[in-house]
Structure 1
């Protein structure tokens, strides 16, 4: 959060007792030089009193800045930026309230293994850890608030420490499993004159690591899969993050084996590949399909709540679990644990299986027939639930978004449908199901569009929210307008927290505190100079297609109450 103006006649340097001078190269410059040397393509953030030295240095930096309005949204923007670049995304924050407001966003990045490099200002060095000086925004131990969320924290106390601290933090964030880190830098260090003690930063590198796949484990896994009568692969988001889709395809075809993907692993295998059993993870037919495997390879997934049909999944065969996060390896199901990056493990397994010769064509046919039968079963269940309008909306939106369009889905009923039903078609499919917080879609889409523009790529992206989630990120309409980002925002307005309404009505017979007063979203968007239109569910796909084609920020509002397909995990929970 930004803080009040300084008293008339004073400067931030005066307040900190440091020699910062207009135009002088200072600690803030060292930060941005270090980020640029490490390969940052842009930064996200908003200023605050203790961070003014950092933001002043932006005037002298070549790094473009996406200016957010709220720190939590800035964190989501950095999340979107990192997903596109594949690199740690710098998130520039102020102290105390500003830093703490980013925590919910960083929790999503942690849960989804997204590398965000949060750089927070701090009170002057003299006030670190003491709680004695009474500085504005002061906390006794600011980094302690982050330790349960980020991979690690770093506190800089001297200007000469900045480059090395950022290089180490960058390495940590980018090493598998990726995730957010915090670097905090005191106000007086950010304002301290850099010359001559710290020359311009040019030679700075980071060396991210990934756990290698041990040969004996790869060989044993390959032997188990080769000897299976009914092997199945469950591919998670770790396959996508590792860029291991091609190795996954090779292994699936060499066995051959059906592939089910988790919601975050939807991009791991082409949607129309005959071995792709897709991602209907909440349908009991898919759960039983996975359970029936005599050898199940789980790769790049911790088998958490959403990847195990709410922990009802009970495999009956042998499990092979490949995961880069050591704490998750076989944590929920016993089996052969392979602590490794998905790319290394899948490449090794594919090579080992391929070396044994071409598979029996009959096995390929049987595997494909099992996939076809599973998807037909799911389709029959859906057809009996009276959800034609919802299915038509998702299908229409899929046709409206060109191939390669990145899509961002909030925790909303449309998003829950998309978890299972959306075909990525070479675009990123992003949903905040890691931590499950509201408000991710719009700011993350803004960060992604910003990143794609910086890279010279088509930058039109689609964000989908409910009216409840929309109110979390509504301030970033200003950021969209200011930066003229190519974000089409579809808001499904059902008058409240639609998912929670459904859950409460199902569990208690009635819902409480789920109905919401909300603005006229079209008029609000128009007040920012953003074109907006209202559409029915039938009209929505055409409206979205027009908005994406037009470029710039656009808002489409669909007043509708969508239904959710039957949550079959409840059948098992009783």
Structure 2
């Protein structure tokens, strides 16, 4: 007899899943029945939140859905935060959870891990949440859960499997649906090509949906002589290119570049405030002649545009390049991009410029590394202005949902998904304490992750915000642990260096390339009452 749990593992393999991040429990034992004999590798985090963030980091570097196995009740609720981060950043993630027996659901009888309505709770965050009422429905549920990963805007999906279904006999598989990705019409491509070809000052906005289109965007930008502004989730494309503007569109300098354009092409960007209005001004840059391309129809309806094109960014760019007739001529793009970069660099201020110089030193010390960040000062600085050198190699949780504790487990997931790359996990001392135990997963897996803790002894960004609006600073100085002792307990090397680019670069070059290590950067400590600008 093949059980539902065994059929589930086989079905995941058939859909290209390689890794499962999860913590087994009595409510998921049957889901593990076929795992040991399968080709799937199981990675055990120390908390279900870690499982979700690892799945997220894995998905970002591979483009494949990260998969998490969690128990009912606390396992699912612990995973909701990573699911929300994945939804905000359009990251494909499948969460498979147990749930209590079908006959007990909703009765409030006090069963272990019972929730009033777990399915409804998951549905508030997941793009799709399926309740597997009978074993025969497995393939249909998986097809619906996998559909957003290829057809629309990705995000988290969820399937819950009752205890009395997980061990039941499974039906024969009914097959895998392969939905087509949306593509532009010939008329849309021709019209966009005509408008862009006639533009005198075009600008391209590249969002997370274009993060893997490095070569294609270089070619398109050169054909149009158009500067390319990258949101946080697109950083890493067009490194060092004269038409690249790796600066936040919330900056006045970048907004000026956008507002001077006569045609703006927005590729795979939701035009959300954490990228375009992070200073909460209530305004967006004016975008003349906006041509918007997005894989999600609902997203297209949220902002007015001259042209809305429902398409994957890759399909559109490839078709557009074929439709453009020669080069568009000189639009002064390189000079416009250079002016925007210089103005943005000046605008971010000396403190953030110093932190970006440290990021530059990290990048140059380990070319092609993946940098994964939590909400911390160097990440805030880099999100404003930083030019990374690897597509999909710069991502963090400081935008979108903004979950602390992301950096450590997401870096572990990234290292598993990109075994050829060094991975740098950039953390604050406060955020590091959310998920510090997950470092043991990197130890067990011998992952080349260097955990870099920016230790300023507190929540400096929050303390600064409180001070600037006249609120007495309270609760922003949690005592950090002894990170050297913590590293020793993990059995990994530790270095402590000052916040100087050359010293940080030297520490990175000295860090092991075949396993984890920890570098602690002694940053200036925030003192309430002093001006931190």
With the length of structure 2 as denominator, give the TM-score of the two structures. 0.92
- Equivalent position of 1:307 in the other structure: 275
Task: Report the Cα distance in structure 2 between the residues aligned to 1:481 and 1:350, rounded to whole angstroms.
Answer: 46
For residues 208 and 467 of structure 1, what CA distance do their matches in structure 2 show?
44
Q: For 1:430, what is the secondary structure of its paired residue?
A: strand
CA deviation profile, 1:445-472 (whole Å, cap 9, x unmatched): 101112234xxxx243110010111011
Q: Distance in 2 between matches of 1:550 and 1:74?
A: 24
Of 294-303 and 368-377, the range deviating more from structure 2: 368-377
Report the counterpart of residue 41 of structure 2 in structure 1: 64
**TM superposition shift of 1:388:** 5.8
After TM superposition, the structure 1 = structure 2 runs for residues 119-268 of structure 1, keeping only pairs within 5 Å, are 119-128=96-105, 130-192=106-168, 194=169, 198=171, 204-240=175-211, 243-267=212-236
CA distance, structure 2, for counterparts of residue 170 and residue 316 of structure 1:
34
Distance 1:519 1:358 in 2: 58
Q: Give the one of 107, 117, 125 matched to 2:94.
A: 117
In structure 2, the CA distance between the partners of 1:520 and 1:250, relative to structure 1 (3 Å rule), is same
Displacement of 1:26 in angstroms is 2.9
Does the 8 Å contact 1:394/1:421 carry over to 2? no
Query: 1:289–1:389: structure 2 CA closer, same or farther, 3 Å change rule?
Result: closer
Aligned mates of 2:231, 2:408 — CA distance in 1: 23
Say if 1:131 and 1:139, in contact at 8 Å, map to a contact too: no
8 Å contact from structure 2 (residues 18, 39) kept in 1: no
Kindly indicate whether the alpha-carbon contact (under 8 Å) linking 2:190 and 2:323 is maintained by their aligned counterparts in 1: yes
Q: In the TM superposition, what whole-angstrom CA distance separates every residue of 1:305-341 from its partner, at most 9, and x where no partner exists?
A: 1232335333152211111122221523443222221
1:13 is aligned to none
Per the TM alignment, residue 489 of structure 1 is displaced from its structure 2 partner at its CA by 0.4
Report the CA distance between 1:386 and its aligned residue.
5.6
Change (3 A) 1:36 1:562: farther
Change in CA separation of 1:208 and 1:544 when aligned onto 2, cut-off 3 Å: farther
Q: Partners in 2 of 1:286 and 1:247 — Cα distance?
A: 22
| Counterpart position of 2:451 | 489
- Cross-structure match for 1:20: none
Instruction: Please say if residues 30 and 163 of structure 1, whose CA atoms lie closer than 8 Å, have aligned partners that are also in contact.
Output: no
Cα separation, 1, equivalents of 2:287 and 2:422: 45
User: Residues 535 and 556 of structure 1 are in contact (CA less than 8 Å); yes or no, is this contact kept in structure 2?
Assistant: yes
What pairs with 1:345-360 in structure 2 (closer than 5 Å)?
Answer: 345-353=316-324, 355=325, 357-360=326-329
| Partner Cα separation in structure 2 for residue 388 and residue 430 of structure 1 | 19
| Greater shift in the superposed pair: 58-67 or 273-282 | 273-282
Residue of structure 2 in register with 1:516 after alignment? 478
1:561 is aligned, of 505, 524, 527, to 524
In structure 2, how many angstroms separate the alpha carbons of the residues matched to 1:210 and 1:497?
A: 43
Q: Choose from 487, 508, 531 the match for 1:525.
A: 487
Distance in 2 between residues matched to 1:126 and 1:397, nearest whole Å: 56
Residues 519 and 488 of structure 1: CA distance in aligned 2, closer, same or farther (over 3 Å): same
CA contact (8 A) 1:390 1:562 kept: no
Shift in Å, 1:65: 0.7
Return the match for 1:436 from 371, 390, 402: 402
Question: Deviation per CA, 1:116-136, whole angstroms, max 9, x where unpaired?
Answer: 1110011112223x3254321
Which region of structure 1 is more displaced relative to structure 2, 517-526 or 392-401?
Answer: 392-401
Q: Give the 3-state SS of the residue equivalent to 2:210 in structure 1.
A: helix
Q: Distance in 2 between matches of 1:334 and 1:388?
A: 35
Cα distance in 1, alignment partners of residues 180 and 461 from structure 2: 39
On the 8 A contact 1:106/1:180 being kept in 2, the answer is: yes
Counterpart contact for 2:226–2:333, Cα < 8 Å: yes
- The answer as to whether partners of 1:85 and 1:451 remain within 8 angstroms in 2 is yes
Are the equivalent residues in 2 in contact too, given 1:172–1:208 (CA < 8 A)? no
Of 337, 340, 347, which aligns to 2:311?
Answer: 340
**Distance change >3 Å, CA 37–CA 55, structure 1 → 2:** same
- Alpha-carbon distance in structure 1 between the residues aligned to 2:127 and 2:454: 35
Determine if contact 2:457/2:525 at 8 Å carries over to the other structure.
no
Aligned to 2:289: 318
Tell me the distance in 1 between the aligned counterparts of 2:86 and 2:130: 18
Equivalent position of 1:55 in the other structure: 32
Residue of structure 1 aligned with 2:387, choices 423, 428, 431: 423
Question: Does the 8 Å CA contact 2:376/2:428 hold for their aligned counterparts?
Answer: yes
Alpha-carbon contact 1:398-1:423 (below 8 Å) kept: no
Deviation of the 1:345 alpha carbon: 1.8
Q: CA deviation at 1:387?
A: 5.4
Instruction: Provide the secondary structure at the position in 1 that maps to 2:94.
Output: strand
Question: Does the alignment pair 1:467 with 2:429?
Answer: yes
Distance 1:27 1:470, change over 3 A: same
**Deviation of the 1:413 alpha carbon:** 0.9
- Is 1:551 the counterpart of 2:514? The answer is yes
CA distance in 2, matches of 1:389, 1:254: 35
**1:200-222 CA deviation, whole Å, 9 max, x = no partner?**
x6x84341432221332222222
SS in 1 for 2:28: helix
- Asked if structure 1 preserves the Cα contact closer than 8 Å seen for 2:128 and 2:144, the reply is no
The residue aligned with 1:105 is 82
Larger-gyration structure (1/2): 1
Contact 1:329 1:339 in 2 (8 A): yes
Structure 1 residues 155 and 509, CA gap change in structure 2 (3 angstroms): closer
1:159 positional shift:
2.4
Q: State the alpha-carbon separation in 2 of the partners of residues 452 and 316 from structure 1.
A: 37
Alpha-carbon distance between aligned partners in 2 of 1:493 and 1:189, rounded to the nearest angstrom:
48
TM-score, normalization by structure 1:
0.85
CA contact (8 A) 1:34 1:204 kept: no
The answer for unaligned runs of 5 or more in structure 1 is: 1-23, 564-569
Single out whichever of 335-344 and 293-302 deviates more from structure 2: 335-344
Contact 1:76 1:444 in 2 (8 A): yes
Determine helix, strand or coil for the equivalent of 2:58: helix
Tell me by how many angstroms 1:158 deviates. 2.2
The answer on 1:385 being equivalent to 2:350 is yes
Match of 1:408 in 2: 372
